[in-house]
Amino acid sequence: MLYRSLNKESQSVNFETALKNGLAKDGGLFYPEKIKKLDKSFLENLHNYSNIDIAFQVIKQFIGDEINEKDLKVIIKNTIDFDFPLIEIENNIQTLELFHGPTLAFKDVGARFMANCLAYFNKSNNEITTVLVATSGDTGAAVANGFLDVKGTNVVILYPKNMVSDIQERQLTTNKKNIKALKVNGTFDDCQQMVKKAFVDKELNSELNLTSANSINVARWLPQMFYYFFALKQIKANNKKIVFSVPSGNFGNICAGIIAIDLGLPIHHVIASTNSNNTIPRYLKSKIYNPRKTIKTISNAMDVSNPSNFIRIEEIYNDFNLLKNNLSSYSFNDGETISAMKSVFNKSKYILDPHGAIGYLGLKKYLNTNPSFFGVFLETAHPIKFSNHIEKALNIKIKIPNVINKIISKEKVFTEVSSYKDFKDSLLDKYFAH
């Protein structure tokens, strides 16, 4: 498999190079040169396969012959050694829980897959890779956990000050060892912009071997396809058309879902459900792409106004009308989010986190005018991560999982930065000076 730059000014590269470089030399995102549909009999009989076998069939064409079958299956086994249950919420609506991994968020899959692949490629050399990741909450925790003590890696996490929950911040800042945390005086988009700028900074790249662990990296982005296959394996929709609603911030997850559809998975429509950062819902109405200043919300992992992966979605459809016919997008504010959490809890006693609540709202809105569809929304994070908002809204106390209890009393260790210069100086002078 070769990957080309969406900026179209760099040569195509193999999977290992795309993984290690993060972005193409021209600053563009990597995209597969060709995607081959999966065998129809495989797709019709997902229930007969293990999750490991499903994931292997789904991802193998994107790896090519760079990782042998035996080792790739080991990497997959290390990536998805937890459950992905489908839970009924109400008639015709189910949620796919993606928070049963080590950091209680859906991003564990991509982060662990990337870390295991990088470890595989570095096992026979002494190369040190500096992994940069901007996070609005959950990505950084998953990357920190996935890369902790991985040979040949140093990890730098950038997160926005006062825009992640206390538990999320503890997951980002209490790892030590090869994990470093930078608290940025700005928004997630500011963090993301620093990471992107670093990749075209010649001085920085001459000193450090950089890669990104955000969903711009193909090894973080593509494994998210697994979720949709695992869901279809469990769904009994009585031949109804299936729609997925995906809480969307940087649009990596929903983009992976669209790739799954491109592989032949019988999903008939997708919904990008956003919070008040509504760039894409506005774009689909006006055809004008106009990111505004990022708004802070209780669904903070989606506080993104300029989603990096949307360019990949445009590449998939390559036509605005085709895009609009296959992708719906709705936005919801904090008040609507809290009301949805209360409504679902009162009816079913199910506790939604704010991101899942937005996924639920987007699904309900679509089903109101498409009642013949069967809907699935993604629950992307454990409610404990947002316990202050949830407990207040629902008047309950959420039991703290053991994995969180272990970090509650740990010291937060971070460096505050306010500019790209601060960020660059921290890398060169403090963390990885030669």
pLDDT in tens, 167-191: 999 999 999 999 999 999 999 889 9
Arithmetic mean of pLDDT, 357-369: 98
Sequence spans of domains, the chain: 83-104+221-394
Is 60 exceeded by the pLDDT of residue 231?
A: yes
Quick one: pLDDT at residue 197?
Answer: 93
Quick one: pLDDT at residue 434?
Answer: 41
Residue 417's DSSP bridge partners are 184
- The phi and psi torsions of 367 (rounded to 5 degrees) equal -70, -25
For the stretch 120-148, pLDDT in tens is 998 888 888 899 999 987 888 999 999 99
Is 70 exceeded by the pLDDT of residue 433?
A: no
Task: Say how many C-beta atoms besides its own lie within 10 A of residue 429's C-beta.
Answer: 9
Quick one: pLDDT at residue 314?
Answer: 97
Is 70 exceeded by the pLDDT of residue 334?
A: yes
For the stretch 282-316, pLDDT in tens is 999 999 999 999 999 999 989 999 999 999 999 99
Quick one: pLDDT at residue 221?
Answer: 97
Q: Rounded to two decimals, what is the model's pTM?
A: 0.92
Is 60 exceeded by the pLDDT of residue 432?
A: no
- Do the beta carbons of residue 432 and residue 130 sit within 8 Å? yes
Helix-helix angle 138-147:166-173, to 10 degrees: 30
Quick one: pLDDT at residue 407?
Answer: 92
Q: Could you write out the three-class secondary structure of the chain? A: CEEEECCCCCCCEEHHHHHHHCCCCCCCCEEECCCCCCCHHHHHCHHHCCHHHHHHHHHHHHHCCCCCHHHHHHHHHHHCCCCCCEEEEECCEEEEECCCCCCCECCHHHHHHHHHHHHHHHCCCCCCEEEEEECCCHHHHHHHHHHCCCCCEEEEEEEECCCCCHHHHHHHHCCCCCEEEEEECCCHHHHHHHHHHHHCCHHHHHHCCEEECCCCCHHHHHHHHHHHHHHHHHCCCCCCCEEEEEECCCCHHHHHHHHHHHCCCCCCEEEEEECCCCHHHHHHHHCCCCCCCCCCCCCHHHCCCCCCCHHHHHHHHCCHHHHHHHEEEEECCHHHHHHHHHHHHHHHCCCCCHHHHHHHHHHHHHHHHCCCCEEEEEECECHHHHHHHHHHHHCCCCCCCHHHHCCCCCCCCCEEECCHHHHHHHHHHHHCCC
**Catalytic residue numbers?**
107
Quick one: pLDDT at residue 400?
Answer: 93
Q: What is the mean pLDDT of the chain?
A: 94
Q: In the structure encoding, which two tokens stand for residue 185, read together? A: 């005086």
Is 60 exceeded by the pLDDT of residue 431?
A: no
CATH of domain 83-104+221-394: 3.40.50.1100
For the stretch 23-68, pLDDT in tens is 999 999 999 999 999 999 999 999 999 999 999 999 999 999 999 9
